[in-house]
Amino acid sequence: MTIAPPPSNLRRAAPIVAGLCSVYILAHFYRVSTGVIAPDIMAETGIGAEAMGGLSGAFFFAFALFQIPVGILLDRFGPRLVVPLLLIFAVVGALVFAVSDSALGLTIGRALMGMGTASILMGSLVVATRWFPPDRFAAVASFFVAMGTLGALMATTPLAAVSEAAGWRGAFFIMAGVTLLFGVVAFLVVRDAPPGHAYYTRKHESLRQVARGLGEVLRNPQLKFIVSINSVAYAAVLAITALWGGPYLAQVYGLEPVARGNVLLLMTVGQVLGHLTYGRLDRILDTRKGLIVFGATASIAILLILALSPALPLWGVTTMFVAFGFISGYSVIITTHGRAIFPERLVGRGMTTNNTSVFLGAAIVQWATGAIIGAFVTDAGETPEVAYRVMFGFLAALQIAALVFYSRAQDAKPSEDLARQRAD
């Protein structure tokens, strides 16, 4: 039986939400931190576009591969323990990244960062599932993601400014210390569920039951449709903010680190506003599928404009980037749709299985776009504008294919979630 949390529990949830938001900010920072400083890393270490795409994608490969184990750990031990402990890997990863001079060392550092932050969003959403009523889940999830995106803001102009003052290595030494501090704070304030919740009396599953539950998740007939759109929606955003936005603005428009950081900062502000907007529209329009179809269609349109329009002025590119950031907020509704197809007892495994597709897709797209850009690099080491236009077209094609497949999914309306809760 599912019981809606009473108002007193919702008030007690405020410091928990704040603690989880603080560590999720770190996750977003690490995720996109190579976007602004990629040209500097490439210049200092001598690595090429393909290697840069590979090391940036290592974060997402590690993140994706760790998702199902994280789901099991979250269901078994709870977010309060799992999230802070895994953050130790992120601390080590930041330190390794800061001292590395080779593509291998940088790749290992990025992979450790991915492992260390792999549980934060899913752990936060597991907590939200237990502390908030189901018809509020989209709003709470969008708030988590919007606040986490502040970390992406930190990885734009602020990171560029710190890198100019202390070097990009110094910035990662600082982030290692901040990560350790925030991990301690999360352990002190986070609680897995409200007092009296069934989580505290539920018998721990045996390994056989764990495997059976995972099998139940994988057999869900709606999962494949969610996975299809999940694997490309956020990946397209990350291809710009976490990797090629900085080099594109540097090589095509000649922007210095802070200037290109400003453009990506505006794009990230658009993401924050988009997440918050979609979270409210979820309940107002009482549809998730409709919002996802709209968001994907608009994203495809923007990517096609970038792909088919040669020599756009800087203000035009900036406008397209900001609009794309805002529209991409529909990814939080994909997460909400994915949550709605699983019962509470499988919420950790269900959401992390969905999230595996997000970051496996991101990793593959990072590698693939690196190969695309690398194919156009001249003998003089310059990258022509057409390379980036082909990349934008590639991202649009991926989203078109995913949208066509996702269109067969059943809607999961917030009103239906609430009706099921009342029936229980």
Q: What is the pLDDT of residue 319?
A: 96
Place of tokens 């009523």: 133
367-417 pLDDT, tens digit per residue, is 899 889 988 888 777 888 999 999 999 999 999 999 999 999 999 887 776
Based on DSSP, count helices (H) and strands (E) in the chain, helices before strands. 19, 0
For residue 131, give both structure tokens.
Answer: 């502390």
CA angle 264, 265, 270 (to 5 degrees): 95
Residue corresponding to tokens 């330190």 = 95
Q: Residue 244 and residue 286: Cα distance in Å, rounded?
A: 36
Q: Quote the pTM value.
A: 0.73
User: Could you tell me how many residues make up the chain?
Assistant: 424
Q: What is the pLDDT of residue 420?
A: 57
Tokens of 198: 């069934």
Cα(403)–Cα(233) distance, integer angstroms: 9
Distances (CA, A) of 424 to 1, 6, 57, 176, 348: 5, 16, 43, 45, 21
* Three-class DSSP category at 411: coil
pLDDT at residue 111 in the model: 93
332 touches 125 (CB < 8 A): no
Q: How confident is the model at residue 96 (pLDDT cuts 50, 70, 90)?
A: very high
Q: Measured between alpha carbons, how far is 150 from 157 in angstroms, rounded to an integer?
A: 12
Kindly give the interhelix angle for 347-376 and 223-238, rounded to the nearest 10 degrees.
Answer: 40
Confidence at residue 6, expressed as pLDDT on a 0 to 100 scale: 47
3-state DSSP percent of the chain in helix, strand and coil, to 5: 85, 0, 15
Most confident region among 2-6, 127-131, 283-287 by mean pLDDT:
283-287
Distance CA 370, CA 53 (A): 5
Please state which CATH class domain 7-193+215-418 belongs to. mainly alpha
Question: pLDDT: is 131 or 206 the higher one?
Answer: 131
Domain coordinates in residue numbering, the chain: 7-193+215-418
Any idea which residue has 């993601």 for tokens?
A: 145
Cα atoms in the Cβ-side hemisphere of radius 13 Å centred on 369: 35
